[in-house]
Amino acid sequence: MTNFLPLVEQFHSLQGEGYHAGKSAFFVRLAGCNVGCSWCDTKYSWDEKKYPPTSIKKIIDHIKIARKKGASFCVITGGEPLQHNLDNFCKAFKQMTIGERQNSMKIHIETSGVNTISGTYDWITLSPKRHSPPKNYFLKNCNEIKIIINKIEDIKFAIEIKEEILKQCRFSRIEDNLIKEEKIYYLQPAWNNKDGLSLAIDFVKNNPDWKLSLQTHKYLKIK
């Protein structure tokens, strides 16, 4: 466990994607990624060596300021944030964001699910990749699934992922409500990919158990 993390950037904006799109949120982007998608729009975050370690306390101090300004939750993203052990961060986060009149701030994470879980979260967004499938833990315990669509193979992967999630939840024993069976399924077309957009729209039109997620922050031209 560590008290320092390689911080790429942190900023207060609107969540642009998925179930919480449109809500005020504070983003913490960590460096390092062992997944390496060719179409990634945050490749600048991959090289952990470019970003000096930042203390957990310093990161959370900025989160507390954003909360006072209206941020309703914090999103940990990357890169691939779970390349780092986040136990200490999450523990400190909950302790430092609680106030006399407020519960501790909600903490969300966006992950591809390839690493072992560390930390505790109020919301897990799983964005699995075809070339690097997620661990079963995330299939069972994520709140939403977001599949990025570039080509027809990604549609097939989305179908396979949902089938595997249903299988995992069906044959797993529920203990302490750790397994979240009610999940939300999203297809999100890759940015500036007309084929991905068309494929995602056509699939969602014919599969009402899936929803379309768009990167609304890019359309709005905000961070």
Percent of the chain with pLDDT over 90: 83
**Between residues 98 and 86, the one the model is more confident about:** 86
Tokens 């097939």 appear where?
156
Give me the half-sphere count of Cα atoms (radius 13 Å) on the Cβ side of residue 140: 15
Residue 169 has what pLDDT?
78
User: Quick one: pLDDT band at residue 98, thresholds 50, 70, 90?
Assistant: confident
What mean pLDDT comes out for the span 4-11?
98
pLDDT per residue as tens digits for the range 20-59: 999 999 999 999 998 988 888 899 999 999 998 999 999 9
| 91: pLDDT strictly greater than 50 | yes
**Total count of domains within the chain:** 1
Residue 111 has what pLDDT?
98
| Cis peptide, bond prior to residue 18, ω within 30 of zero | no
Helix 87-96 vs helix 56-68: crossing angle, to nearest 10: 40
The DSSP code sequence of 152-183 is HHHHHHHHHHHHHHHHHHHSSPP-TT-S----
Q: For position 168, which CATH number holds?
A: 3.20.20.70
Residue 100 has what pLDDT?
54
Residue 176 has what pLDDT?
44
Residue 79 has what pLDDT?
93
pLDDT per residue as tens digits for the range 164-218: 998 887 766 544 444 555 899 999 999 999 999 999 999 999 999 999 999 999 9
* Beta strands 53-55 and 210-212, pairing class: unpaired
**What φ, ψ does residue 108 adopt, rounded to 5°?**
-110, 155
Domain residues for the domain of 147 are 4-219
Residue 104 has what pLDDT?
87
What mean pLDDT comes out for the span 115-123?
97
**Between residues 153 and 169, the one the model is more confident about:** 153
Residue 172 has what pLDDT?
61
